Structure 1
Amino acid sequence: MVGGEGAEHVGADLEGQGWGATRAWVEKGLSEAERIEDVARLRGGWTSEMRRLNICGPGGRRSLVLRSFVEPFFVRHAEGLLTREAAVLGLLGSTDVPAATLVAVDATAQYCDHPSLLMSLLSGTVRLDDEGADCRAELLARQLLSIHRLPVSAEARPRGYQAWTSPERVRPPEDTDQPELWRRAVDVIRREPPKYRACLLHRDFHPGNVLFTGDGNGLRISGVVDWVETSWGPADLDVAHCSTALALLHGVSAGMRFADRYVAAGGTLTEDRAAHLYWRLLDTLAFAPDAEKVAVPWREVGRADLTPALLTRRLEGYLETLFARYA
């Protein structure tokens, strides 16, 4: 996340934590009279370490966000991920999409302790409570549509989308009493991907990657973050990913309504029900058995009710409802 949600103060000294080279890299890019005054960890993500750097100088105070990949898996893929995010932030700078401004990137850790990207701090907070979820979902649908409608030249297009699971990788819950439901779902994604009309995908668009400000009639999206997976592919897949997240966060009906909200906002999804079901299941099955992976950061920002048992019930209920509507 790139807002102030869930900040944990850690002081100004990064050297003792193996961040000395990274700090030197950041400071080299500051104006001569600026310095890092304070550092806070930002909670709510699991792929990378996020830190808010509070900068002070003659011109006043400002804050930047530092994303660093430290886990071996993500370090191996950091060059592609951070290079892609840097390019996308540059692309979005001239649009109405509320994204951070790129400051600097060291995707291969040539200068930093870890592969890192430095960007501006966006206002707002992540909001995951059930209260107000419907209003936020309406804004999410409109925001996602605005991303899909962005014109992107052939030269600036990101890579084609990548599936995050396969029939061989899906593992149903060990205690499921509906093994046939899971087998049926896996059989759907054994087919070749349906033909689609491609557009720009955020590819990881869900409530945990969106910042909000205001309340009631003043509720607004103030930022969309985490662009490392940005891709070129079917709008149905982006809608599917946000739908699955909403089903896990707020219940099956919330996940089922999101595609309708997207279409009502003016979006276009495939009219072929079997094709749409393919994209929905391709995303949903990527959470088996990894729903806990996304729930950990969600619990860190207040959703302690999202237990493994609850997530399993919601995931299976969502699969059943997808088949009831689209099969």
Structure 2
Amino acid sequence: MTDHDDTTAVRPLTLAWVSRHLEAGERVVTAEALRGGITAEMRRLTIRTLDGDTRDLVLRTFVGVEQAEEWLDREAGALTLLPGTGVPAPELVAADPTAAQCEYPSLLMTHLAGRTVLDDDGLAARVSLLARQLVAIHELEPAERPREYVTLTTADTVVIPWGADAAGWAAAIDVIRGPVPGYEGRFLHRDFQPGNVLFDGPPSGPAGVRIAGVVDWAGASWGPTDLDVAHCCANLALLHGPEWGPRFAKAYEEAGGVLAADASVRLYWMVRDALAASEEVGLLARTWREGGRGDLTARLVEERLDAYVVALMDTLA
């Protein structure tokens, strides 16, 4: 690697803050923007060590995000909890949730090997791995319970796609107008989906594929397992087709995960997260296209969301 100063993408105060958390004699030599983040700027920092070798860290920065302090507090707490649990996650190096030392709220963590895989090839094998990983996350018993989950979607904020099944969407919106069901809380990732999971091994086929890491713990919280499962179901349905939502829920139970016994409660959470996706279809589609899925136009994702919501509501028939 060429030793040159390519750290200008890191703001001066933030760079100084990062440098204070390095080992003696280390320095940042390059910074590379990482794609895939929706709410935060992500950079991989290459660190030159005293012996001339290199190592990588990841810098996460929230710019103009109202909930930045809360999210970084949640992420720092989760990354402190996870070492030794068997859940592959980055290790916390430092956090500045209030931007006391950086230009913007920031978090520094170790870099994990692996890559996100959004392709259709090999999906069945990856779904099984995703399900087992989420079960392991839900089995964690933190010494200190994280804050309660947050969901911002309401019946009044849902964005119905153009040409959608009006009756099906009206029925779905009515579902979330009702009271929030009771639940037995568990530790949640809260944004567990293919874009936040790193895989090692060949991108297609089951042989040798494994999960190398789970990232983006800014939503870590306490709540119903159904909500975490519903979120991954919705993402898989939009990425790969509506049928993959229910298939993930089934894989989760086959892996030992426990969902609500009442079918109407399951439906509530599945519908709530599907409707939440309606508010950010364009953003999701753009992020996935940047990740290599050039076929995923906003219109195609809208059509898949419509089909998924209608399919969910058909379970009541």
Paired position in structure 1 for 2:240: 250
Residue deviations 1:78-131 (CA, integer Å, cap 9, x gap): 111111100110000121000000000111111111110000000100000010
Contact 1:295 1:306 in 2 (8 A): yes
Paired position in structure 2 for 1:290: 280
Identity within the alignment, %:
48
Q: 1:326 to 1:213 in 2, by over 3 A?
A: farther
Is the aligned partner of 1:63 residue 2:56? yes
Paired position in structure 2 for 1:209: 196
Paired position in structure 2 for 1:19: 11
Paired position in structure 2 for 1:168: 156
Contact 2:157 2:279 in 1 (8 A): no
User: Which residue among 203, 212, 219 is the counterpart of 1:229?
Assistant: 219
Contact 1:14 1:20 in 2 (8 A): no
Amino acid at match of 2:109: M
Amino acid at match of 1:44: G
Paired position in structure 2 for 1:51: 43
Partners of 2:158 and 2:93 in 1: CA distance: 39
Counterpart mapping for 1:1-327 below 5 A: 12-15=5-8, 17=9, 19-59=11-51, 60-70=53-63, 72=64, 74=65, 76-153=66-143, 156-173=144-161, 175-215=162-202, 216-326=206-316
Contact 2:44 2:58 in 1 (8 A): yes
Q: 1:79 to 1:254 in 2, by over 3 A?
A: same
Give the secondary-structure state (helix, strand or coil) at the position aligned to 1:85: helix
Residue deviations 1:261-290 (CA, integer Å, cap 9, x gap): 000111111121111000001100011132
Aligned residues: 311
More deviation, 115-124/17-26: 17-26
Amino acid at match of 2:286: V
CA offset at residue 256 of structure 1? 1.7
Give the secondary-structure state (helix, strand or coil) at the position aligned to 1:110: coil
Amino acid at match of 1:230: A
**TM-score, with structure 2 as normaliser:** 0.95
**TM-score, with structure 1 as normaliser:** 0.92
Partners of 2:103 and 2:307 in 1: CA distance: 44
Residue deviations 1:107-157 (CA, integer Å, cap 9, x gap): 11111111100000001000000101111111000000000011123xx11
Partners of 1:249 and 1:35 in 2: CA distance: 39
Partners of 1:177 and 1:124 in 2: CA distance: 38
Partners of 1:316 and 1:29 in 2: CA distance: 47
Residue deviations 1:51-87 (CA, integer Å, cap 9, x gap): 00000122421000000011x2x1x321111111001
Amino acid at match of 2:184: R
Partners of 1:162 and 1:40 in 2: CA distance: 31
Contact 1:18 1:113 in 2 (8 A): no
Q: 1:114 to 1:12 in 2, by over 3 A?
A: farther
Amino acid at match of 1:51: R
Q: 1:180 to 1:316 in 2, by over 3 A?
A: same
5+ unaligned residues in a row in structure 1: which ranges? 1-10
Give the secondary-structure state (helix, strand or coil) at the position aligned to 2:207: helix
Partners of 2:136 and 2:253 in 1: CA distance: 12
Amino acid at match of 2:285: A
Q: 1:113 to 1:126 in 2, by over 3 A?
A: same
Partners of 2:159 and 2:89 in 1: CA distance: 35
CA offset at residue 46 of structure 1? 1.3
Contact 1:102 1:118 in 2 (8 A): yes
Partners of 1:43 and 1:326 in 2: CA distance: 39
CA offset at residue 14 of structure 1? 3.7
Give the secondary-structure state (helix, strand or coil) at the position aligned to 2:67: helix
Structure 1 consecutive aligned stretches of length 4 or more whose deviation exceeds 6 Å:
none
CA offset at residue 232 of structure 1? 0.5
Partners of 1:161 and 1:14 in 2: CA distance: 36
